[in-house]
Structure 1
Amino acid sequence: MTDTLVTQIAREALMMILILSLPTLAVSLLVGLVISILQATTQVQEQSLTFVPKIIAVFLTLAITAPWMIRLMTSYTTRLFKHLPNLTG
């Protein structure tokens, strides 16, 4: 196993993490931005007002994108396990 191969596997793993976390992080960012704008406009500074909509939005996003995420993770893992004999020997 060469250094280049290890670097490539680590790079693919980091890209997979980035791709899988992007939808949830983007939705959380957008909901937080909208809530912040509403709070600044109405001057209501309630702490639970920021967290509850974010949590609901993140759970909904995870529920909607779960099949896609699972399909992506299983294809990556299957590809990694198929190449495992070539990696060790």
Structure 2
Amino acid sequence: MTPEMVMSLAYQGMKLTLMVAAPLLLTALAIGLLVSLFQAATQINEMTLSFIPKILGVFAMLIVSGSWLIQLLTNFTREVIQNIPNLVS
């Protein structure tokens, strides 16, 4: 296993991690921003108000993009497992 192969595999893994996490994190960020704007406009300073909308939004995004995320993870895992003989030699 050459250093280039290790770096390529690490790069692919980090890229996959970002692709899987990005939709969920961006959804939580957008909902948090909207709830914060709502709290600032209405002067409601309840810290727990943002948790339920974020949880529901992330869950909805997981339902919408879940099959795509699972497909990405499955393809990456399949490629890594199929390339084990090439990585060892």
Do the two structures share a fold, i.e. TM-score over 0.5? yes
Match in the other structure for 2:29: 29
Deviation at 1:22, TM superposition (A): 0.5
> Runs of 4+ in structure 1 displaced over 3 angstroms?
none
In structure 2, how many angstroms separate the alpha carbons of the residues matched to 1:55 and 1:40? Answer: 21
In structure 2, how many angstroms separate the alpha carbons of the residues matched to 1:7 and 1:59? Answer: 33
SS of 2:71's partner is: helix
In structure 2, how many angstroms separate the alpha carbons of the residues matched to 1:15 and 1:88? Answer: 23
Letter matched to residue 11 of structure 1: Y
Match in the other structure for 1:81: 81
Deviation at 1:87, TM superposition (A): 0.8
In structure 1, how many angstroms separate the alpha carbons of the residues matched to 2:71 and 2:3? Answer: 29
- Compute the TM-score of the two structures, normalised by the length of structure 1: 0.95
Matched-pair identity in %? 36
Letter matched to residue 88 of structure 1: V
* CA displacement 1:26-67 (0-9 Å, x = unmatched): 100000000000100110011221111001101111122111
Match in the other structure for 1:52: 52
Match in the other structure for 2:40: 40
